[in-house]
Structure formats: C-alpha cells, structure tokens
Amino acid sequence: MSNLPFALPDIGEAEIAAVVEVLRSGWLTTGPGALAFETEFGDFVKARNSVAVNSATSGLHLAYEALGVGPGDQVIMPTWTFTATAEAVRYLGADPVFVDVDPHTYLMDLSAADAAVTDRASIVAPVHFAGLPVPDGALSAFADRHDLAVVEDAAHSFPTLNEGRLVGSHGHAATVFSFYATKTITTGEGGMVVTPDPDLAARMRTMRLHGISRDIFNRYTDVSQRSWFYEVVAPGYKYNMTDVAAALGRVQLTRAYEFLERRTAIAARYDAGLAGLPLTLPARAPEGSGHAWHLYVVSVPSEAPRSRDQVVDALTEKGIGTSLHFIPLHLQPYWRDTYSLVPEMFPVASDLYERTFSLPIYTRMTDADVDRVIEALWTVLGR
C-alpha cells in the first residue's frame, strides 16, 4: 500500500493558472496582486488593515517591532508553540516568558500566565493551537488586567470563530496568519498581519520594505519628474510578499471554507472512528467558537497498552505519516539554556510532550485514507 503523507497542499488548476498569469504579466515582486490579496483577506476576516508578508515569522517580528518591543521587554506566550513565536522576540533583544498549558486544549493556561507576568511584560502572544482559539473573553480580561497588548499567533486558526467572530476581527493590536505550505491555506511561503490600528499598519508597511516611508514616497511619486524619490526612515527588513505568492493566496482564499468543511468532516470521522480506544481525542470548541482543524492532535494516556513512541512506530511501519506539534520550547536547547528552564516549571507540557502526536488531516485525504489511519490505530491500541 502506498504511503500516506502527514501533510499535502491542495493546489488546483485555478491556482496554477493564476500564477502563470502573474508570470506573464512581468510583475514578479510586490505589486497589484499583493495589494488585492491584502484587501480581500481583510474583507474576509473583517479587519481594517492587512499587511502581506513573506512569512508569519516576519509578521510576528514586524508586529512586535511596531509595538515598541525592545531590549529588556518581555512577551508572555505558551511553551507549547513553534519557535517562531519566541525567536522574533529575541530579534529585538527582548525575552519571551513561557507559560504552561491546559492539559485538554494545549492552550496557554491563563492562571499560570497571571503568575508569570512581571512589570517588564508589554505583550501577550497567545497561540490558537491546532486551530482551537484561546477564548477571547478570558484572553482580553487577562490582557486588560496586566495592561498588555495582544499579538495573536494565528498561524493555525484561519478561518475560525472565536466567541462569535472570526480570529483577526477582535480588535487586538495584531493578528498574524501563516500561509506556509502545510497551513490551512497556502502561498508556499507567506503570511498576513491584520490590525485595527492604522499607525501600526503604517509602521509595519515601512519596516517590511527596507524602512522606506511609503507615505513620503507616495507624496513624491505624484510628481512625475521626481518618481525616483524615496526616503529611508529606519533600518527595515525585506519581508514583502511577492505577487506570485499573492496569486496563490487569492485563489486559496476563495476556497477557505470549502477546505474547512473537508477538514471538519475528517475530524468528525476520526472522532467517531477512534471513540472507545485508549486515546485522548482533541478538545471540542466551546459554544460560539469553532476549530480550524489545522491539526488533529491526540495523546496516549498512561494507562494505554502502548506508549506514544510505540504507536507512532507502528503507524510509520504501515506507511502512515505522523508528526509532533510541538516539542515544547522549554525543552529546546537554546531556550532551555538561555533561560535556565527545567521540565518541572512546565509540568503539563512536559507530560504531554511524552504522550502527544498529530494525525494526518488535509483536504486531499479521502475517507478511505482516514479509515486506514483509524484501522491502524485499532490494530495497535485496540484489545
């Protein structure tokens, strides 16, 4: 039987045609396509300003920078995330503060976060892990309590409702989406930052392209004989999204709900097929919220007849791809050694790390593919 990969992008003829059209247009870098993608994405999530970038990592960096994060500042975040959430804090000389997670949702434990906040903290960066959002009421109350700006790491959570509104539309300082190849919609590499604050958006637009002030640029481009004029107002970065990537993104955006529907159906098929096994299934979204189903994460309880590693090895033997999201950051050498972190500081995440893994969930899987995974799990874990 052929191998079932852990993830595959869903690129159709419309995406291919859109990319070919851009290639023929002669406009390969940031141009009208990226601008149109920003507008369409902003309309989709109902955000006032959208800034297209070449990755979510760049987007996080731009958002932290625009909010004034600098040396000595702290950014509160879960240990259960990808290193990008934290590394962009270090780019600015600031320090991430890692917080343990809830054992059922893998989302940042807000009472543990309460205890972790110091007067150096200026930002909280929640991660809507796997596509399940951190409930916005509790998140906003936490941020208000400590006077923190919120930068949502929404790499997993497009599109999904959080207490009645799409992630990205709650008015938080910034929400950062990823269009990496494995994410819920893709541009190959790419990301989008949305913000209600026009000044923050302007700063991010300037910094994403060499620190060139677009406002000044635009004023002078009106005068045709000085169209060459621009001013560098900061040592910016090279984080712009290409029109080639945007062409992919614009088509993928029109398919976002079709994709979500398929991933939701796969999750429901897993839920039904795996019920009764000694396996902890993903937490459900509370009433009024959704789940983007970027990942389907399970854990093997201690009383199960097999360990996580045995289960993963058995699936690998049957040609079924799995992954682990995530190795918590407090266990990664750089973060562990830089901040003298030990597993006992994060008891829940340290325990989950031993028991958790992710099953394949992507639109190109057939029902037969899903059933194959379910049967394999019954073979290793069933009585």
Ligand X SMILES: *Cc1c(COP(=O)(O)O)cnc(C)c1O
Q: Is position 329 an interface residue for ligand X (rule: CB under 6 A)?
A: no
Residue 128 CB, nearest distance to ligand X (Å)?
8
Residue 77 CB, nearest distance to ligand X (Å)?
10
Q: Is position 178 an interface residue for ligand X (rule: CB under 6 A)?
A: yes
Residue 180 CB, nearest distance to ligand X (Å)?
4
Q: Is position 153 an interface residue for ligand X (rule: CB under 6 A)?
A: yes
Residue 133 CB, nearest distance to ligand X (Å)?
13
Site residues for ligand X, window 33-92 (CB under 6 A)?
55-57, 81-82, 84-85
Question: Of 11, 3, 1, which Cα lies nearest the Cα of 364?
Answer: 11
Lookup result for tokens 């906003």: 140
Q: Is position 105 an interface residue for ligand X (rule: CB under 6 A)?
A: no
Binding mask 337-356 for ligand X (x = CB under 6 A): --------------------
Q: What are phi and psi of 193, to 5 degrees?
A: -110, 130
Q: What are phi and psi of 223, to 5 degrees?
A: -95, 105
Bin 117: left if φ > 0, else alpha if -120 < ψ < 50, else beta.
beta
- Residues 25-44 as b/e (b if ≥16 CB within 10 A, e otherwise) read eeeeebbebbebbbeebbeb
In contact, 148 and 94? CB cutoff 8 Å? no
* Residue 46 annotated to the active site: no
Binding mask 189-218 for ligand X (x = CB under 6 A): --x---------------------------
Q: Is position 358 an interface residue for ligand X (rule: CB under 6 A)?
A: no
Angle at 200 (CA atoms; ends 199, 205), nearest 5 degrees: 95
CB closer to ligand X out of 208 and 372: 208
Q: What are phi and psi of 189, to 5 degrees?
A: -125, 135
Q: Which residues bind ligand X (CB under 6 A)?
A: 55-57, 81-82, 84-85, 127, 153, 155-156, 178, 180, 191
Catalytic residues, which ones? 183
